[in-house]
Structure 1
Amino acid sequence: SVVVDVFMLLGDGFEGQLFAQILKARGIHEVTLAGRSEEKLANNREHFGVKTINTTKEELPEAAFDIVVEAVGTPATQEQALAAAARGAQVLMFGVGNPDDKFSVNTYDVFQKQLTIQGAFINPYTFEDSIALLASGKVDPLPLFSHELEFTQVEDFVSGKLGKVSKAIVKVGGEEA
């Protein structure tokens, strides 16, 4: 069994934030969430006890993480993920990128660091595990929602009239949906 010392999740979007919670729930003690939204990073520090790096204010440490999950899908963040990976690290390309995008890889770094790089597309066999994590309370997505909307507000949300909405819960007929 491999002992993971340091784990980084690059991307503070909804999926990245959920991924960080799942890692904590699975017993990973040191999870670092790196992203650009100070509000989301602070929320994750407070509610879930993850370390954070605001990439608009500080550089990611190089060769510092045993496992890196790239959850953005841009060439820049994919390159950052490889740079942040320590010797012998595993890098999971989880973020969905543009099908035409390419990123630069220093092949000698992959060789010298002995990296394992893997992509993730879809796994239809995860629903039972997901439901079990939610039911156990080990994963709580509610603090990740920025708004609670009435059904009548959905059109304003779609048209952009509500301003910045990260993720929202929509109430239908007075009940959360």
Structure 2
Amino acid sequence: MNIVETKLKDCYIIEPKVFGDSRGYFFESFHLKKFTEVTGLAINFVQDNQSSSSYGVIRGLHFQKGVHAQAKLVRVLSGRVIDVAVDLRPDSDTFGQYEAVELSAENKKQLFVPRGFAHGFSVLSETAEFSYKCDNYYNKESESGIRYNDPGLAIDWGINNGDEIISEKDQDLPFLKEFNKSIYG
């Protein structure tokens, strides 16, 4: 397993070593000891989630506030997505910057999104099955987000103009300039 730090501190791309033969393939998707040795981060995943979406769906940019903040390890089981993490940590040198990576069933890459980040993805294939581990339990009262089409971020979601499928809730999220930096304090 290769663990690569992105330009955003504590945000990592995990590239598994895949062993394939005529029967199929095998890979280790996560190894806590290796992850901790490379990153220095102590993680304890407590909840797994999975979603299914069709082409053009953009989910996000979501996060949990305060004591309910979540770190996530995300991957694609089938299909292909652009996965995005936005640094919302008030004291971070990379506050307001994002990392985008293509995750697919073929490349088997994963993205580790630390606490204090917003997260979202867009579906590039006909459909995609998306899976993620969380280090804290979901709390409805703590959910929040940043608008997917924030002009200050200018994220290229890889979706043809007019083909975006956005939930009503996600269309009403605030822009980054309206973000209350104190929500993590």
TM-score by length of 2: 0.22
Which one has a larger percent strand, Structure 1 or Structure 2?
2
Which one has a larger percent helix, Structure 1 or Structure 2?
1
TM-score by length of 1: 0.23
Greater relative contact order (Cα < 8 A, sep 6+): 2
